[in-house]
A and B are shown apart, each in its own frame.
Chain A
Amino acid sequence: MNKLIETIDLTKIYGEKETSVTALSSINTGFNENQFTAIMGPSGSGKSTLLHCLAGLDKVTSGSILINGVDLASLNDKELTKMRRDSFGFVFQAFNLIPTLTAEENITLPSSIAGRKPEEEWVKQVIETMDIGDRLKHRPNELSGGQQQRVAAARAMASKPEVIFADEPSGNLDSKSSKELLVFMKSIVEELNQTIVMVTHDPYAASFAERVIMLKDGEIANDLDNPTQEEIVSQVTSLTEI
């Protein structure tokens, strides 16, 4: 399998000297194309920081991140923005949608910004899979939390990005909606060859992934391939107990 993303000695330190916090220290790993990866770890272990760095939303302190061999640090703001727009998709934990735009407009927002026509067939398919076809003309405040997250996921899919970054996408959802979303994410990886990097707290959510990276104090504590939910739970408890 192809390494889509590679990190080399990735280190992120917040703040100066005495008050500095090392959020990530010397992370060396990679993310394969067409794989569903979950990042887990206790609160404050650096999960979000890692995701933000990978997605070019935050600058690394040292080390580098290569996307298809290109060092993110070598890109200027404009090139980074373009990369986020054309190659990445995002689903955040909350506030994913522009309140003044309808669900449909939110879904096609990345291509609208790029001044491109969205691929209609594909968007239709995404919408169908997300089961939000009847909600397209509604504004976000008229949608339930689960529907909002699904719209966000549809947006992340619609522009056919190389990788989707998701930070606790199901964090705000009830178990039913949460399951729906995860099933969908899994299906697009399997059926549509999508690549997904997802941060989560929830072992159940992580069990949908093919690979689970465990973080602790900014370092990779474990890297599991196709773990079962039980394995994940035991790993998590061991991490929190120590």
Chain B
Amino acid sequence: MFGYTKRPLFLIAWKNLKTYPVRILLTTSSIILGVAVIIASSIFSESNKSAFDNLFSGIYEGIDLVANPVQEDFANDFSDSRGQGPISFELKKIPDKRIQEIKDLPGVKDAWGEVFGFAQFIKIVPRDCRSHTYERECTETIFISNGFAPTFGGSWDTSPYAKQWELIDGKAPENNKEVVMDKTTAENNDYSVGDRVTVLAGSTPASFSIVGIADFANVGSPGGATFALFELKTAQTLLDSKGQVDLVNIVIENNADIETVRTLIENLDKGGLDVINAQEAAAEQADGIKQGLNFFNTILNVFAGIALFVGAFIIQNTFRILLLQRTKELSLLRALGTSKKQIYRLVLSESIFMSLIGSGIGIGLGIGLAVVVKEGLKYFEFGLPDGPLVLTTEAAITGAIVGITVTILSSLLPARKASQVSPMEAIRESTLTPKLKSLIKRLIFGSAVTTLGFALLFGVLYDFLDLPSLSGLQQVGFGAGVIFIGISIITPSITKPFVFLFDKLYEIVFGILGKLATENSKRTPRRTASTASALMIGLTLISLANVITTSFKAQAESVVGEVVKADYQVSAAQVFVSPGIPTGLADELIELEEVTELSRSRATIVGYEERPLILGAVDEAIFDLIKTENVSGSKEEFAKPNSMGVLKQKAERDNINIGDEITLTIPEEGEMTFTIAYIFDWTTPPPAEFFLLLENYTFFSNESLDTEIYFNVKDKNEATQDKLDAIVSDYPGAKLRDQDGLVEEANNQIQQLLNVIYGFLSISVFVALFGITNTLSLSVYERTREIGLMRAIGTYRKQVRRMIFVESSIISIFGAFLGTGLGIFFAWSLIKALEDEGFSNFTVSVSQTFTWIGIAVISGVIAAILPAIKASRQNILEAISYE
């Protein structure tokens, strides 16, 4: 009996996959990675969401109602102010006596007030002094925080019903010398019960004894924030809430109706109390945060999309190579009477198999990746709430569907091509040289698309084109996208000329091996190009990010250098914790013989036309220490009593002119009238819009805080620096920086952002490197005979490996240069588009650009290690034996 199969093609497909497991792995590697990124990002965000759910149900655990004070809505009044300085308008609070009133209401089981605000744990550690001439001990102030999470202070709830915090060690705080620290902060910084710690709340720090460590809803602390918990009275004093609380938590009797109790409480202070259902509030607030997190999700998904897009290039490529290798087999099938349609189906069914396998592995890998990302973020103290990893069925299905769809779509074209194999191929020895005609067609079409893209982009940038329904930046992005697609179409056609540039160089350096390598990349320009394109995408994005940030940094540097003329600036170290600097610091500084010139800035809130207004005050020296621009009037006039300065923007907006009279309501002083004597432009973020000269008015001294201090010194040396550091270190809320420090601070922020972006982009580069490994392995496989022949006639293994390395360097140099070029151009376009927003600096860091190209090329060579080893180990006899 002969075997008979009902579905011969299915059998062939299955046999194929079974016989070449490595091929499957190679082809699916990019799908696996793409799906893994999707899954990881989904797990990551789902886990965060569930963590936030826990967080908010933790905050409101055991509580039925929360009474909040109704706040006045000042937001609109400040919205047109450019002021970034402290805006300390009065927060409404609930007086202590109201708590007892609530407790006494029928249906209320218990009620307790809560105080909440910013507080900062501080560690002061000794360090070496810069100079040895200064006799005091030098110290460094470390602000303790868990990554980007905020630093909070609050009251310790003594009610038996309060369940937010659970003491895991020690006891509750009982007096104004005791504090309870949250578990996360204690663990991260090695604090335990009995230690002393300094806490900055308001403007003056104080030392406390840690009497307890508390855990919040089993995650240590809410969202990784640091928490200093005090006894209620102490918290009220420290957090600016004497005799009052920020909110009242209420637990009702089991049989009481929640709505009835709610109304009773609100009626205690009609219009002043807003009582909310705690459980509803938990859900609502968690939703709010989740919405905010969606942004993060979107970013992750964009990166997953990039990885998949790169993956699609590689899948298509791999399929094409695999099918090319099987040309003989396929054409034999055709010769034996298999129809085109059947071949098409054969190839597609193989791709479906592969996509299923790839997606499956991808999901598994995604879970692993999520764990890595999570641990990584924890390591960098990113401050997201802790919690278990959550993989939803939905996410798994989405990941699988995306993986399968991308794979199948990427295999459509190669499958169609395979089905068109002529039955004659089986008999002919096929050559690998591509048809020149199709390359020229490509070049023409691709150039047309690219030109269109450039036209769009320049049209938008130079304002003679406006695409409807797209914002300016979107238009730039659209143009860039079109250019990118165009270039991707062209690349196979320009592979040859590009490689040609390197031909001679490679031949001189690597001899015949260089020649063979360049010839190989030219022989399959489409493959070389699409492998390079995968890398190109990653490098485009990286160099885009790189140039943008380099330019922003350079811009920040030039702005700081131009605008701040003072040697030093002192500002509030933690704006939220302490909105300013105690005036004592400026008094001490001005006493120093080293200090030549000093200006303080202060601000207070006054009434102007029945609305609150921030009124600033400065010393006259400010005009030497900060770059200001005289618009009209004069500094001398400004210095006279009852004169006022106003910012140019405000003056233009409200049509204020020199000589105009402005009447303000000053707290505890009543109405005062000032004459506008000076209109000027303040080039850094100004503390206010209206200014007075500080020394002319006594009412500013009621404000015990300076917002900023600028000063010059006689001689900026290490001894001076030590002396200044020592003085400022007595005021832990103040931060002293020189010009370099200001620039560095701006740069650090940019750099941190850049590092995160690099991290994500490297995933797509990683996928691209897989593509290189892939392409080279297959190309080695394809050239089995050739390499065998070379070995037979005396090529060393080492030389074979070198040949593969050289080939991979060509691919990666091609991709890296194209990508870097495009990235730099896109960065230029983006900056040009942002010109109106004040961005003017376009700086390309040559060293960084070449570093990235170098990294790409080296990675490309690393990606070639496996194929190279495989090539050099090839069995010579198998290679040369005639089939």
Q: How far is the CA of A58 from the CA of B876 in the complex (A)?
A: 8
Whether B519 pairs with A52 at a CB distance below 8 angstroms is no
Task: Determine which of B513, B797, B877, B882 lies in contact with A57 in the assembled complex, contact meaning CB atoms within 8 Å.
Answer: B877
Whether A100 pairs with B520 at a CB distance below 8 angstroms is yes
Residues of B within 8 A of A110 (CB): 793-794
Q: How far is the CA of A112 from the CA of B799 in the complex (A)?
A: 12
Least CB separation from B786: chain A residue: A98
Q: How far is the CA of A93 from the CA of B880 in the complex (A)?
A: 9
Q: How far is the CA of A155 from the CA of B432 in the complex (A)?
A: 24
Task: Determine which of A81, A93, A105 lies in contact with B794 in the assembled complex, contact meaning CB atoms within 8 Å.
Answer: A81
A32-40, A84-92, A201-209 - interface stretch: A84-92
Whether B794 pairs with A141 at a CB distance below 8 angstroms is no
Least CB separation from B794: chain A residue: A85
Least CB separation from B520: chain A residue: A100
Residues of B within 8 A of A98 (CB): 516, 786, 789-790
Residues of A within 8 A of B790 (CB): 98, 109, 113
Taking the closest CB of chain A, its distance from the CB of B407, in whole angstroms, is 32
**0/1 interface trace, chain B 769-812, chain A, CB 8 Å (1 if under):** 00000000000000001100111111111010000000000000
Residues of B within 8 A of A229 (CB): none
Q: How far is the CA of A109 from the CA of B793 in the complex (A)?
A: 9
Taking the closest CB of chain A, its distance from the CB of B316, in whole angstroms, is 24
Residues of B within 8 A of A112 (CB): 511-512
B328 on the A face (CB < 8 A): no
A124 on the B face (CB < 8 A): no
Given A77-B797, A78-B796, CB of A105 within 8 Å of CB of B877: no
Residues of A within 8 A of B432 (CB): 99
B431 on the A face (CB < 8 A): yes
Given A99-B431, A101-B519, CB of A84 within 8 Å of CB of B793: yes
Q: How far is the CA of A71 from the CA of B520 in the complex (A)?
A: 37
A15 on the B face (CB < 8 A): no
A13 on the B face (CB < 8 A): no
Whether A113 pairs with B799 at a CB distance below 8 angstroms is yes
A21 on the B face (CB < 8 A): no
Task: Determine which of A85, A95, A114, A115 lies in contact with B882 in the assembled complex, contact meaning CB atoms within 8 Å.
Answer: A95
Residues of B within 8 A of A84 (CB): 792-794
Residues 3-46 of A at the B interface (beta carbon under 8 Å): none
In the A-B complex, the 9 residue pairs with the closest CB atoms: A85-B794, A100-B519, A112-B512, A84-B794, A95-B785, A113-B795, A94-B882, A141-B431, A93-B882
A96 on the B face (CB < 8 A): yes
Residues of A within 8 A of B786 (CB): 98-99
11 contacts between A and B (CB under 8 A): A84-B792, A84-B793, A86-B794, A88-B794, A94-B882, A99-B431, A99-B523, A100-B523, A105-B512, A112-B511, A113-B512
B600 on the A face (CB < 8 A): no
Taking the closest CB of chain B, its distance from the CB of A97, in whole angstroms, is 8
Whether A85 pairs with B795 at a CB distance below 8 angstroms is yes
Q: How far is the CA of A85 from the CA of B798 in the complex (A)?
A: 14
Given A52-B877, A99-B786, A100-B523, CB of A81 within 8 Å of CB of B516: no
Taking the closest CB of chain B, its distance from the CB of A201, in whole angstroms, is 13
Residues of A within 8 A of B880 (CB): 57, 92, 95
B262 on the A face (CB < 8 A): no
Taking the closest CB of chain B, its distance from the CB of A166, in whole angstroms, is 13
Q: How far is the CA of A146 from the CA of B797 in the complex (A)?
A: 31
Q: How far is the CA of A143 from the CA of B397 in the complex (A)?
A: 56
Taking the closest CB of chain A, its distance from the CB of B491, in whole angstroms, is 21
Whether A101 pairs with B515 at a CB distance below 8 angstroms is yes
Q: How far is the CA of A199 from the CA of B403 in the complex (A)?
A: 54
Residues of B within 8 A of A88 (CB): 794
Besides the known contacts A84-B793, A99-B431, A113-B793, 7 further A-B residue pairs in the complex with CB atoms under 8 A apart: A57-B877, A77-B797, A92-B880, A99-B523, A110-B793, A141-B433, A155-B793
Whether A90 pairs with B793 at a CB distance below 8 angstroms is yes
Residues of B within 8 A of A141 (CB): 431, 433
Tell which of A89, A100, A101, A141 has the most Cβ of chain B within 10 Å: A100
Whether B795 pairs with A100 at a CB distance below 8 angstroms is no
Q: How far is the CA of A89 from the CA of B795 in the complex (A)?
A: 13
Q: How far is the CA of A97 from the CA of B141 in the complex (A)?
A: 74
Interface residues of B (CB under 8 A from A): 431-433, 511-513, 515-516, 519-520, 523, 785-786, 789-797, 799, 876-877, 880-882
Q: How far is the CA of A89 from the CA of B789 in the complex (A)?
A: 12
Taking the closest CB of chain B, its distance from the CB of A62, in whole angstroms, is 19
Least CB separation from A172: chain B residue: B882
Residues of B within 8 A of A113 (CB): 511-513, 790, 793-796, 799
Residues 173-210 of A at the B interface (beta carbon under 8 Å): none
Given A57-B877, A115-B511, A141-B431, CB of A96 within 8 Å of CB of B789: yes
Q: How many A-B contacts are there with CB distance less than 8 Å? A: 80
Residues of A within 8 A of B513 (CB): 113
Q: How far is the CA of A221 from the CA of B414 in the complex (A)?
A: 54
**0/1 interface trace, chain A 49-75, chain B, CB 8 Å (1 if under):** 000100101100000000000000000
Residues of B within 8 A of A95 (CB): 785, 789, 880, 882
Taking the closest CB of chain A, its distance from the CB of B140, in whole angstroms, is 60
Q: How far is the CA of A204 from the CA of B795 in the complex (A)?
A: 34
Whether A101 pairs with B792 at a CB distance below 8 angstroms is no
Residues of B within 8 A of A81 (CB): 791, 794-797
Q: How far is the CA of A112 from the CA of B433 in the complex (A)?
A: 24
Q: How far is the CA of A81 from the CA of B876 in the complex (A)?
A: 11
Tell which of B431, B512, B513, B520 has the most Cβ of chain A within 10 Å: B512
A137 on the B face (CB < 8 A): no
Whether A82 pairs with B515 at a CB distance below 8 angstroms is no
Whether B876 pairs with A57 at a CB distance below 8 angstroms is yes
Residues of A within 8 A of B431 (CB): 99, 141
Given A81-B796, A85-B795, CB of A100 within 8 Å of CB of B882: no
Q: How far is the CA of A85 from the CA of B792 in the complex (A)?
A: 8
Residues of A within 8 A of B797 (CB): 77-78, 81
Taking the closest CB of chain B, its distance from the CB of A26, in whole angstroms, is 22
Q: How far is the CA of A90 from the CA of B790 in the complex (A)?
A: 11
Residues of A within 8 A of B789 (CB): 92, 95-98
Residues of B within 8 A of A52 (CB): 877
Residues of A within 8 A of B876 (CB): 57
Taking the closest CB of chain B, its distance from the CB of A209, in whole angstroms, is 22
Q: How far is the CA of A89 from the CA of B793 in the complex (A)?
A: 7
Whether A100 pairs with B516 at a CB distance below 8 angstroms is yes
Residues of B within 8 A of A109 (CB): 512, 790, 793
Q: How far is the CA of A84 from the CA of B796 in the complex (A)?
A: 10
Q: How far is the CA of A65 from the CA of B431 in the complex (A)?
A: 39
Least CB separation from B798: chain A residue: A78
Residues of A within 8 A of B523 (CB): 99-100
Residues of A within 8 A of B791 (CB): 81
Least CB separation from B787: chain A residue: A98
Residues of B within 8 A of A94 (CB): 882
Residues of B within 8 A of A78 (CB): 796-797
Whether A105 pairs with B515 at a CB distance below 8 angstroms is yes
Least CB separation from B881: chain A residue: A48
Least CB separation from B785: chain A residue: A95
Whether A57 pairs with B792 at a CB distance below 8 angstroms is yes
Residues of A within 8 A of B433 (CB): 141
Q: How far is the CA of A21 from the CA of B858 in the complex (A)?
A: 47
Taking the closest CB of chain B, its distance from the CB of A39, in whole angstroms, is 17
Taking the closest CB of chain B, its distance from the CB of A139, in whole angstroms, is 9
Q: How far is the CA of A34 from the CA of B789 in the complex (A)?
A: 26
Least CB separation from A115: chain B residue: B511
Q: How far is the CA of A95 from the CA of B877 in the complex (A)?
A: 13
Least CB separation from A80: chain B residue: B794
**0/1 interface trace, chain A 143-178, chain B, CB 8 Å (1 if under):** 000000000000100000000000000000000000
**0/1 interface trace, chain A 123-151, chain B, CB 8 Å (1 if under):** 00000000000000000010000000000
